[in-house]
Amino acid sequence: MRIVATAEVPAVARRAFAPLGEIVVRSAELADQPSTELLIVRGTALDAETLERLPGLRAIARTGAGYDNLDVAAATRRGVPIVYAPGIGSQPVAEGTVALLLAAAKRLRELGAVVEQAAWAARYEVAGLDIEGACLGVVGYGSIGRRVGRLCLGLGMEVIAYDPAIEPFAEPDVELVALEELLERADVITLHCALTENTRGLVDRRLLERVKPGAILVNVARGEIVESEDVLADALACGRLSAVALDVFPTEPPEPGHRLYADRRVICTPHAVGLTSRWNEQVFHSLARDVQAVLAGGLPANVLNPEALTGLSVGHDRAPRSIR
């Protein structure tokens, strides 16, 4: 079987898919691989035009939690099922979120520069945020957002959440509030909403003008939820934000020369904060099992577009407001 991955995969992926064939990585020449039968999508956008140039495609395996980079409707029309692994990455991403949150709150990049530059006396000029008693505002209270909330409750934070896609919930330690109230109260705002037409550019100048002065913003969801690097840089410059932590960016990879990334109050990771050894093991074995089910004519455990397996060609608008 001809298996193509859009980005490098770990050894565990090659072992998981070995019964089906060898994985070939083709990040830049995807449309020039007409013999591809299985496509493992990592980060790359997959549009209808590219799909049309892959006539032999039998299945798509998506490694991430979101699927805004896939033209699901086009794949469904072609009868190509998309298998994925929902929920597996929730805990690693939640843990990564808390790591970024703490690094930003405790100003670790700035303190590291004190050591690197041998400016020892400058350590007294850097004061972090007290986490205990601080208010965390979670935007998008799905699987990842809930886990972040629970972890931060354990740190002694007050946790509030905004998610219009869910009904009021019975969690006595977490309050569901309107977005306006969250912005006014939160010392730390963390984004966990999916990228939709409603959330694209959600964090813009108008929204940032309403946040609590000196708040910290953490984004591990999708970069395009933030309007641009400029709005974050300007919010830091005027003191509206005191720190920013990013695992995702408006464009990936980001332009390293942008002034935002020169600011030591900004901490970044390369859209990889949730990629752990256990995640790799669980995700790729889950995907391999589901692809094998497709090839055997069965129903995979996790498929985005089951219509593709039944021959029904329908439109697709499944993107939830929060990543679950």
- One DSSP character per residue, 55-71 reads TT--EEEE-SS--TTB-
> b/e for 195-204, b at 16 or more Cβ within 10 A?
bbeebeebbe
Shared-domain flag, residues 103 and 81: no
Phi, psi of 271, rounded to the nearest 5 degrees: 50, 50
Query: Smallest Cα–Cα separation from 101: which of 215, 225, 16?
Result: 215
User: What band does 32 get if pLDDT is binned at 50, 70 and 90?
Assistant: low
What digits encode the pLDDT tens for the residues 262-303?
A: 999 999 999 999 999 999 999 999 999 999 999 999 999 999
Query: Which residue type occupies 271?
Result: H
**pLDDT at position 86, please?**
87
Shared-domain flag, residues 123 and 255: yes
Shared-domain flag, residues 84 and 94: no
Query: Smallest Cα–Cα separation from 216: which of 190, 192, 194?
Result: 190
**pLDDT at position 45, please?**
84
Q: Point out the least confidently predicted range of 23-32, 58-67, 192-201.
A: 23-32
Q: Point out the least confidently predicted range of 80-84, 86-90, 161-165, 316-320.
A: 316-320
pTM of the predicted model as reported, rounded to 2 decimal places: 0.87
Shared-domain flag, residues 38 and 18: yes
Query: Is the bond preceding residue 55 a cis peptide, omega within 30 degrees?
Result: no
Q: Which of 268, 297, 318 corresponds to the end of one domain?
A: 268
Looking up tokens 């974050």 gives 232
What is the rounded CA–CA span in Å between residue 180 and residue 197? 19
Q: Which of 252, 268, 284 corresponds to the end of one domain?
A: 268
Task: Give yes or no for a contact between 110 and 243, defined as CB atoms under 8 angstroms apart.
Answer: no
Q: Which of 252, 255, 278, 318 is catalytic?
A: 252
Answer whether residue 319 shows pLDDT above 60.
no
What is the rounded CA–CA span in Å between residue 290 and residue 299? 8
Shared-domain flag, residues 147 and 104: yes
Percent of the chain with pLDDT over 70: 93
**pLDDT at position 311, please?**
52
Answer whether residue 253 shows pLDDT above 60.
yes
Burial, 217: exposed, middle or buried (Cβ in 10 Å; 0-12, 13-18, 19+)?
buried
Looking up tokens 């060898």 gives 22
What is the rounded CA–CA span in Å between residue 165 and residue 320? 8
Q: Which of 2, 147, 222, 321 is catalytic?
A: 222
What is the rounded CA–CA span in Å between residue 87 and residue 274? 12
For residue 25, the domain's CATH number is 3.40.50.720
Shared-domain flag, residues 151 and 76: no
Higher pLDDT, 69 or 160: 160
Answer whether residue 47 shows pLDDT above 60.
yes
Say if 165 falls within a structural domain. Answer: yes
Residues 6 or more apart whose CB falls under 8 angstroms from that of 110 comprise: 126, 264, 265
**pLDDT at position 163, please?**
94
User: What band does 308 get if pLDDT is binned at 50, 70 and 90?
Assistant: very high
User: Is 175 a catalytic site residue?
Assistant: no
Shared-domain flag, residues 27 and 104: no
β-bridge partners, 82? 60
Shared-domain flag, residues 223 and 123: yes
Element (H, E) at 266: strand 266-268
Q: What is the mean pLDDT of residues 254-269?
A: 96
**pLDDT at position 321, please?**
33
Percent of the chain with pLDDT over 90: 82
Shared-domain flag, residues 236 and 190: yes
Say if 29 falls within a structural domain. Answer: yes
What digits encode the pLDDT tens for the residues 158-181?
A: 999 999 988 776 677 999 999 999
> CA of 181: how far to CAs of 83, 210, 211, in Å?
38, 10, 9
What digits encode the pLDDT tens for the residues 238-250?
A: 999 999 999 999 9
Q: What is the mean pLDDT of residues 100-121?
A: 96
User: Is 132 a catalytic site residue?
Assistant: no
What digits encode the pLDDT tens for the residues 190-240?
A: 999 999 999 999 999 999 999 999 999 999 999 999 999 999 999 999 999
Element (H, E) at 136: strand 135-139
User: What band does 26 get if pLDDT is binned at 50, 70 and 90?
Assistant: confident
CA-only gyration radius of the chain, Å: 21
**pLDDT at position 168, please?**
72
Q: How many domains does the structure of the chain reveal?
A: 2
For residue 161, the SS3 value is strand
Q: What is the mean pLDDT of residues 251-268?
A: 95
Q: What is the DSSP string of 190-229?
A: EE-B---TTTTT-B-HHHHTTSPTTEEEEE-S-GGGBS-H
Shared-domain flag, residues 188 and 245: yes
Q: What is the mean pLDDT of residues 15-42?
A: 87
Answer whether residue 316 shows pLDDT above 70.
no
Sign of the Cα torsion 33, 24, 62, 218 reads: negative
For residue 78, the SS3 value is coil
Token readout for 159 is 């946790």
Helix axes 108-116, 90-105, angle to 10 degrees: 60
**pLDDT at position 31, please?**
59
User: Is 222 a catalytic site residue?
Assistant: yes
Shared-domain flag, residues 25 and 60: yes
Show the domain range for 301.
3-88+276-310
Say if 290 falls within a structural domain. Answer: yes
User: What band does 29 get if pLDDT is binned at 50, 70 and 90?
Assistant: low
Q: Which of 271, 316, 321, 324 is catalytic?
A: 271
> CA of 50: how far to CAs of 9, 31, 69, 74, 303, in Å?
21, 5, 12, 10, 21
